[in-house]
Amino acid sequence: MAQGEKVIVCDKLTKRFGDFIATNEITFEVNKGEIFGFLGANGAGKTTAMRMLCGLSTPSSGKASIAGFDVYTQTEQIKRNIGYMSQKFSLYENLTVKENIEFFGGIYGLTDQQIETKTEELLNRLGLKSEAKKLVGSLPLGWKQKLSFSVAILHEPKIVFLDEPTGGVDPVTRRQFWDLIYEAAERGITIFVTTHYMDEAEYCNRISIMVDGRIEVLDSPTNLKRSFGVSSMDEVFYQLARSAKRGD
């Protein structure tokens, strides 16, 4: 992990909806090439925070810069420099594997030549060559997830945001997915990931846990377990989230 260069810098970032403070003065920094786990119970404010970081929602107050761009004034540049993948939004099921790659390559402004090279490279790496002409809808979920992640980083973004990327797949496929994450991080792409799997939290360099709109703790998994005097991230999470007042 390259120290020094910060690709996410948040200072008291806040989002209010009327009287409700969804995200309450969150302050943190993420380094280039870091795998950062963004955890919290349902309703803690993770999605709202992520939407602001992706340039999709204007903050109520506070400051943040993503890949060096301001979340108030440079949202278009932010969108060009990040990748995004979630369980809900990923690929077009009625397009083939190859068409999906070409489509997203086009959206990200890659040249035809670049798209061709990237497509070849990606199909090889994922072992999907023989499936290139199949509709994405017909692929097993695990393949869709891997393809979806690969497409999200097709344009070599500075940061990729992953919103619960591995739901519903078997333990082996889930680990293959994390191999892709590790590889991307090694190449210097920053990974910002939410998950409900606490063993996946352990794979992160650092994690934050949100409770009622605030970032309650932020540290490496090892340090968090030590400071809570427990042996698993599950217990850290449980101790913190149990104190939540806000309803789910």
Is 248 a binding residue for another protein by CB under 8 A? The answer is yes
Considering the rule CB under 8 A, would residue 229 count as an interface residue with another protein?
A: no
- Nearest distance from residue 191's CB to another protein, in Å? 12
Q: Is 180 helix (H, G, I), strand (E, B) or coil?
A: helix
Please say whether the beta carbons of 218 and 240 come within 8 A: no
Q: Where are the beta strands (DSSP E) in 76-170?
A: 82-86, 159-163
Token duo for residue 74: 């440079």
Q: Kindly state whether residue 228 participates in binding another protein, applying the rule CB under 8 A.
A: no
Of 5 and 183, which CB lies nearer to another protein in the complex structure? 183
Q: Which of 202, 216, 219, 230 binds another protein (CB under 8 A)?
A: 202
**The only residue of 58, 222, 223, 227 in contact with another protein, by rule CB under 8 A:** 222
Cβ atoms 156, 105 nearer than 8 A: no
> Cα(70)–Cα(63) distance, rounded to whole angstroms?
8
Smallest separation, CB 178 to another protein (Å): 6
Distance CA 24, CA 12 (A): 7
Mark 134-163 with x for binding to another protein (rule: CB under 8 A) and - for no binding.
Answer: ------xxx---------------------
Residues 6+ apart with CB under 8 A from 185: 1, 33, 34, 35, 191
Q: How far is the CB of 145 from another protein (least distance, A)?
A: 10
Cα dihedral sign for 133, 159, 209, 72?
Answer: negative
Q: Residue 110 CB, nearest distance to another protein (Å)?
A: 28
Query: Is residue 247 a contact residue for another protein (CB under 8 A)?
Result: yes
Q: Which residues bind another protein (CB under 8 A)?
A: 40-43, 140-142, 164, 167-173, 175, 178-179, 182, 185-186, 196-199, 202-203, 221-222, 232-234, 237-238, 241-242, 244, 247-248
